[in-house]
Amino acid sequence: MSDEKKLFKVTIDNITIDVEPGTTILHAARQIGGDVTPPAMCYYSKLKGSGGKCRTCLVEVAAGSTADPRPMPKLVASCRTNVMDGMIVKNITSERVQDARAGVVEFLLLNHPLDCPICDQAGECHLQDLGYEHGKEGTRYEFKRRTFEKEDIGPYIQLHMTRCILCYRCTYVADQLTENRVHGVLDRGDHAEISTYISKAIDNEFSGNMIDVCPVGALTDKTFRFKNRVWFTKPVEAHRDCDKCCGKVTLWQRGDEVLRVTARKDQWGEVESYEGKTGWICNTCRFDKKSVKDWVIEGPSKVNRHSVISQGHYVGVSQPKETMPEVMGGRAPKLLMDIHDVSGVNTVNISALPGPATSKNYTKNEQ
């Protein structure tokens, strides 16, 4: 039995889980799921070296391990800290963490323009979600926001540097997916910017993936620009034989028109993996195949029902049937008045009527 791997026991917000050694706190929390998972703006599990920068995933380590139960003095970045056996982590149960996270959200939004109404990312923007879940209602910043000169980085990708939160994900994509990176972070501090340096345009077969990894609307699809709002489009899973990439994509349709093609995303907003390989897609699939005929349709994508994209599509919604007696102190719920008893609405079979229903049909006497 010595071959069996020893699992580490880690407690996050009083929920204990066994994880393999080498797992980060963030991944352990993702295995638990739900509210316990810290948000992550810069970390991307498919990109080596990412994370640690945005500081939204800070958690408090109340006990380092069974062997050394001292707490860690500072909050740690959960995406880059590995769990130890017997570690006790506090995320939503720690006031320090909540306070620091609200601070980070405020910092991230300081210079971020509030142009969501004209931003193509709106509706699938991680910063929107973060601000909604962890931010404060207002900002205390009273100064002019930082802006940048507009820069053209080629025919496919639109760069809005003012929206950038400097997560560095797109530079990792360029480093790890392509042979040479032509863009990077220039300058430093609050005037640091994503830009190309020598080449004017970013031109390689996988550059489009920068759009998928961008958590905000700093990098958007030029072929989809101002075409539609994401919540008006319908995501459909589709695939095609592609010699460059896996060919598994999500088509964003309106009617039969394919407005946009992206890689498939998992519940954490990251590109999905197939058989251990990340499903990055090539620029041909993304930008050139904009017709339903190019694709084999698999069916509608599952969209989290909390997402604005699922508005109007009440898929997978179930009405609660059983009441929980313990909530009511053992009593069964009782309505003061059942509306159906007094209204005649539900007694009328509309389809049986010869014509459209009128108020006459609902008057009991005349039926």
User: Is residue 74 within 8 Å of 40, Cβ to Cβ?
Assistant: no
Please select the residue that binds another protein; options are 88, 127, 159, 165, rule is CB under 8 A: 165
Other residues' Cβ atoms within 10 Å of the Cβ of residue 194: 24
d(CA 161, CA 195): 8
**Least distance between another protein and beta carbon 13 (Å):** 20
270's tokens: 């990251």
* Min dist. Cβ of residue 21 to another protein (A): 15
Give residue 98's identity as a one-letter amino acid code.
Q
Long-range contacts of 182-191 (CB under 8 A, 24+ apart): 183/153, 190/111, 190/146, 191/146
Q: Would you give the binding string for another protein spanning residues 101-140, x where CB under 8 A is met?
A: --xx-xxx-xx----------------------------x
Q: Is 190 in the site for another protein (CB under 8 A)?
A: yes
Q: Which is nearer to another protein, 110 or 308 (CB)?
A: 110
Strand order in the sheet with 296-300: 257-263, 248-254, 234-239, 296-300
CB closer to another protein, 56 vs 91:
56
**Closest approach of another protein to the CB of residue 256, in Å:** 42
Please report which helix (H) or strand (E) contains residue 360, including its range: helix 359-362
Q: How far is the CB of 100 from another protein (least distance, A)?
A: 5
Tell me how far, at minimum, the Cβ of 232 lies from another protein, in Å: 32
- Tokens describing residue 151: 């820069």
Site size with another protein, rule: CB under 8 A:
35
Q: What angle do CA 119, 120, 124 make, to 5 degrees?
A: 105
- Of 305, 234, 242, nearest in space to 279 by CA: 242
CB 82, min distance to another protein, A: 9
Residue of 12, 36, 40, 100 interacting with another protein (CB under 8 A): 100
Choose, by CB under 8 A, the member of 11, 31, 52, 151 that binds another protein.
Answer: 52
Assess 53 for contact with another protein (CB under 8 A): yes
Give yes or no for residue 75 binding another protein (CB under 8 A).
yes
Residues in 191-230 that interact with another protein by CB under 8 A: 191-192
Pick the closer one to another protein by CB: 52 or 86: 52
Residue 16 CB, shortest distance to another protein, in Å, is 25
Q: CB–CB of 197/145 below 8 Å? A: no
Q: Enumerate long-range contacts of 226-231, CB under 8 Å, 24 or more apart.
A: 226/118, 226/120, 227/259, 227/260, 228/254, 228/259, 229/122, 229/123, 230/120, 230/122, 230/123, 230/124, 230/308, 230/309, 231/123, 231/308, 231/309, 231/311
Of 2, 3, 5, 143, the one binding another protein by CB under 8 A: 143
Given a contact cutoff of 8 angstroms between Cβ atoms, the answer to whether 57 and 77 are in contact is: yes
Is there binding between residue 189 and another protein (CB under 8 A)? yes
The yes or no reply on residue 174 touching another protein (CB under 8 A) is no
The residue among 81 and 250 lying less far from another protein, judged by its C-beta, is 81
Measure CA 196 to chain center: 27
Distance CA 6, CA 200 (A): 51
Per CB under 8 A, does 330 bind another protein? no
21-29, 99-107, 226-234, 280-288 -> range binding another protein (CB under 8 A): 99-107
Examine residue 72 and tell whether it contacts another protein (CB under 8 A). no
Contact residue for another protein among 5, 188, 331, 334 (CB under 8 A): 188
Chain residues in the site for another protein (CB under 8 A): 51-56, 58, 74-75, 77, 80, 99-100, 103-104, 106-108, 110-111, 140-141, 143, 146, 165-166, 168, 184-185, 187-192
